[in-house]
Amino acid sequence: MRSIKTKLFSLAMAVSMVLALAGCAMSTPSTVGSIGGIEIPAGIYLLAQYNSYNTAANAAELATGETASDVKAVLKATCTGTIGDEEVTATGSEYVAKLTDRAISYYAEVERRFTEMNGVLDDAATAEAADSADSLNVGWLADPTKAAEAAKLRLAESQDALTEGKVYDGTCRLLTFTDGAAAYVCGAKAEDLKSGTTYYYQVGDGERWSEIRSFTAGYVNTDVEALIFGDLQESENSTLTGILNGLDLTDYDLTIQTGDLVDNGGNYSYWDKTFTMLDGLTGSRLFAVGNHEQDGSGDPNTTFYNQGDSNYYSAVYGNVFVATLAYNGFTAESLAKLVRDAQASNATWKILVMHQPVYYTNAVAGMSAAAQQQVYTAAQEAGIDVVLSGHDHSYARTEPLYNGAVDNEKGIPYFICGSLGEKSYGITDNEAFHFVKLEGNYNAVYLTLSTTSDTLRIQAYDYSSGNAKLLDSFTKQKSGEHSGTAAAAWSAIAATTSAPRLIPAMPVTPWTGRADRSTSTRAPS
């Protein structure tokens, strides 16, 4: 019998089949009908409707004052978009019905072909599928003199219910560091969460618990506001602190860090101080592993960041698929995972984050030509829209590139995301890399990323004077249009107009506060 690792539920093609709805009682049925003899589970049907509604909401022509959360308005509005190969203009209700029919028809066809091939899902495939469900992945540090060697994550749908909430067991490792400190590095994951539900959670050892945090599961097609940092690499980062104090951190659903979070991964105090600085960030956090984290004890991806794989990690945030590659982690296996996961994702936008840049401004530590080609080939095959990197301690952006040449239709812009603090380096321009934005040695650069259903915008700011100076702006539209502007004028930090919308649809890694937050996380030295 052939073993097939996964069955992908995609909306990439339409299948011309007729849904025959079965009669049902007042109780919730296990199936809603059949297509060509394939039973359609009620859960699959509801998921298809949910995703279809979100798509329709993004395509709806809403009147002033109406929002995507107004179901009646969306269902009555005119929606225009492409369903399969057909350009469709219909009411919201008709649009949802067409998308739902297409989705479940494709599901039935996948099931039919899978059965014909005598396919089975093995244990590895089942575990892999579980990773795509709504879940919360959390990492934290604990003082071994005040906490037990245990990792627990508990959550509930209300704060009052937390003490009786569901508890998930995680992993906990005692690491010793070169500065004489020791700490438990812990992680745990809550799975099978209900889409659209707000959860409250704590981490700890079962006796001692962190402060209470919250997040909402689901909503995979919502817009995203993200904050992006390049290399921090300091023990005392007053620059980062100044930036964070000047921003409204509730504006950001997600923070992306492009590697070298600390200068020496073997020094506990660097980790402790850096995570303390980042503790005010309210959204989820995603880290790429740089070369300086790798100098320390253990593997940061599987210890500090609790991301499961030494070289590769991916997640979906709102309408954005994000994948990370660790420093020197672009192996054939990790690149294959990138292509597989990105192609399988229905997210509107797809981003790759890696520490070492594909197109570099620091020729001394530049990527080899072979590695460069491997990465950009995989990124192109994966359908990546933007590549974010660090490592060079400078800010730069390329033209949209495809096979190393400028291509404004299919090309990918490659960003080097600057640095924060003491280390900022001069730029070596390479005309063959088609850099279009090169600036001086800014030491307080951060970026913002904003997405809608048809637009992705990245803006770079210099905060060295205590105000946000717009350095660069890049916009990509689903029509294939790109535009970039280098701004010389000073500008205030623009506040977003809505509350955070980040709802993780795959494992995420927010650093949530330590299990012993009420006392101290610093290990004895």
The Cα 522–Cα 525 span in angstroms is 8
The Cα 55–Cα 99 span in angstroms is 9
368-397 residues labelled b (16+ CB within 10 A) or e (exposed):
eeeebebbbebbbebbbbbbbbbbbbbbbb
User: 488 exposed, middle or buried (CB, 10 Å; 0-12, 13-18, 19+)?
Assistant: exposed
Instruction: Tell me what pLDDT residue 296 has.
Output: 63
Instruction: Tell me what pLDDT residue 126 has.
Output: 42
Instruction: Residue 511: name the closest of 322, 334, 261 by CA.
Output: 261
The Cα 479–Cα 506 span in angstroms is 27
Instruction: Tell me what pLDDT residue 228 has.
Output: 92
* Boundaries of every domain in the chain: 20-122, 296-485
pTM attached to this predicted model: 0.67
185 dihedral zone (left: phi>0; alpha: psi -120 to 50; beta) = beta
Residues 6+ apart with CB under 8 A from 43: none
The Cα 319–Cα 224 span in angstroms is 7
Instruction: Tell me what pLDDT residue 22 has.
Output: 29
- What amino acid occupies position 468? A
Judged by DSSP in three states, 487 sits in coil
Instruction: Residue 285: name the closest of 472, 132, 137, 475 by CA.
Output: 137
The Cα 381–Cα 412 span in angstroms is 11
Q: Around 237, how many Cα atoms within 13 Å sit in the side-chain half-sphere?
A: 32
Instruction: Tell me what pLDDT residue 342 has.
Output: 92
- What amino acid occupies position 425? Y
Instruction: Tell me what pLDDT residue 235 has.
Output: 56
User: 209 exposed, middle or buried (CB, 10 Å; 0-12, 13-18, 19+)?
Assistant: buried
Per-residue pLDDT of the chain (525 residues; tens, 9 = 90+): 333 333 332 222 222 222 322 233 334 456 788 888 888 887 678 777 877 887 888 889 999 888 877 889 999 999 998 887 788 999 999 999 998 988 888 888 878 776 776 665 554 444 443 344 577 888 888 888 888 889 999 999 999 999 999 999 998 889 888 888 888 888 898 888 887 788 999 999 999 998 898 877 765 668 889 999 888 876 566 777 788 877 777 778 888 988 888 777 878 888 888 888 777 777 788 888 887 887 666 677 777 777 777 788 888 888 899 999 988 777 888 889 899 999 988 899 999 999 889 998 887 767 788 888 889 899 999 999 999 998 888 899 999 999 989 998 899 999 998 888 667 777 777 888 898 887 777 788 899 999 999 999 999 998 887 888 898 999 999 876 666 654 332 222 222 222 222 222 223 333 333 232 222 222 222
Determine how many CB atoms are found less than 10 A away from the CB of residue 427.
20
Query: CA of 323: how far to CAs of 150, 330, 436, in Å?
Result: 29, 12, 25
* DSSP E strand stretches across 247-348: 254-257, 284-287, 312-317, 320-325
Residues 6+ apart with CB under 8 A from 59: 79, 80, 81, 95, 453
Whether 129 and 192 have beta carbons less than 8 Å apart is answered as no
Instruction: Tell me what pLDDT residue 218 has.
Output: 62
Query: CA of 258: how far to CAs of 16, 91, 224, in Å?
Result: 45, 43, 18
DSSP annotation string for 405-433: EE-TTT-B-EEEE-BBSS--------GGG
Whether 391 and 357 have beta carbons less than 8 Å apart is answered as yes
Q: Retrieve residue 417's tokens.
A: 């995301």
CATH class of 296-485: alpha beta
372 alpha-carbon distance from chain centroid: 23
- What amino acid occupies position 280? G
Pairing of strands 455-462, 445-451: antiparallel
Instruction: Tell me what pLDDT residue 449 has.
Output: 94
- φ, ψ for residue 252 (rounded to 5)? -115, 130
Instruction: Tell me what pLDDT residue 32 has.
Output: 80
The Cα 163–Cα 161 span in angstroms is 6
The Cα 39–Cα 232 span in angstroms is 53
CA dihedral 335→336→337→339, nearest 10 degrees, is 90
The Cα 343–Cα 337 span in angstroms is 10
- What amino acid occupies position 214? S
Query: CA of 419: how far to CAs of 199, 225, 423, 435, 460, in Å?
Result: 35, 20, 7, 18, 12
